[in-house]
A = this chain, B = another copy of it.
């Protein structure tokens, strides 16, 4: 039983957060340094970008949580601290300065950065900002959320209450999506906190399994950032018996985690650069999970299809085309395609060929802000969902015109 609640990353017991402007960004109204702290050392797990070019903070975080423990998260926006000669040094310094202020061990810190790459990150504003950042700690998930935003047009925050072994637990998260910062690339950062008691190993297992069906199924533009990271801290303050193995309790935790991650996925996709629509591609009837996922992602990634959705154009041919070149093992003669939104559902393709449909009705459905693309493969029982957004003038503007 999941119940949506307020509080974001501070919904779970023992977690406080804050966000300040420390001076990395020129705009003084924009918070650029965020902090999340657990009262007690927590189980920690994280997954990182698969890009070979990796931000220095990711390397430091990986080392710090190698023991499966952490109690704070610090993250700056405005500079990704990536492709800099002294990146590791600066990321370690961030941990040291924060640890000193909090009275914890520097290796108990998860550190992240987002923004420009290839430009040295000055430690001075961060060093100057940390005292106020720590002093202001409270139920300020919203401020932390602001502190990690780049060109996101809205904050992304959620929390749920759930039950494990008769104890009420809480889980919440904040995310920043595919915002882009001069002059470089987008980053997806997600920080999740929970008071559920779970071992580091089981937390890592839950997170790894989850991202395969959540964050790894989002595409805004096919570009994988150098700084992507999803991390979870679980401090056990809910008082449930620690989850140490698979079973009912673990399943409950995974469900709650998935509710947080899927919500944030949808938020990130809907707030893709320049996006006017959330696209959710649901594939069923796949031969296996891999085929279903490959098809869902191929459709969500197709520039042609995304541009068509911007124009509310029901051209199922582009869906079929993207399925055809996806590389998935499918029989195109069996493919069916429908579009659905809160205005209704319309079938546009059956058995690999077009069916007659009302263009007017299709347009009405596709003019909505959330569109489902339903694909049946007729090859088996596997399903998959991928999230994305339409391709718009503003995507080009944000990414092409920034410096002109």
Residues on A lying within 8 angstroms of B by beta carbon are 50-54, 82-85, 116-119, 180, 183-186, 221-226, 301-304, 307-318, 320-325, 330, 332, 349, 352-354, 390-393, 395-404
Contact = CB atoms under 8 A, between A and B. Distances in A.
A308 B225 CA distance: 16
Contact of A396 (B116, B332, B391): B391
Contacts of A398: 307
A315 B118 CA distance: 10
A321 B396 contact: no
B184 A307 contact: no
A320 B83 contact: yes
Given A304-B223, A316-B118, A353-B84, A325 B50 contact: yes
Given A85-B353, A399-B308, A325 B224 contact: yes
B399 A396 contact: no
A324 B308 CA distance: 29
A179 to B, nearest CB: 12
B307 A396 contact: yes
19 contacts: A52-B332, A53-B320, A53-B352, A54-B324, A117-B320, A118-B316, A183-B308, A183-B317, A185-B318, A222-B222, A223-B302, A223-B303, A223-B304, A224-B325, A303-B399, A311-B402, A313-B402, A315-B403, A392-B400
A158 to B, nearest CB: 27
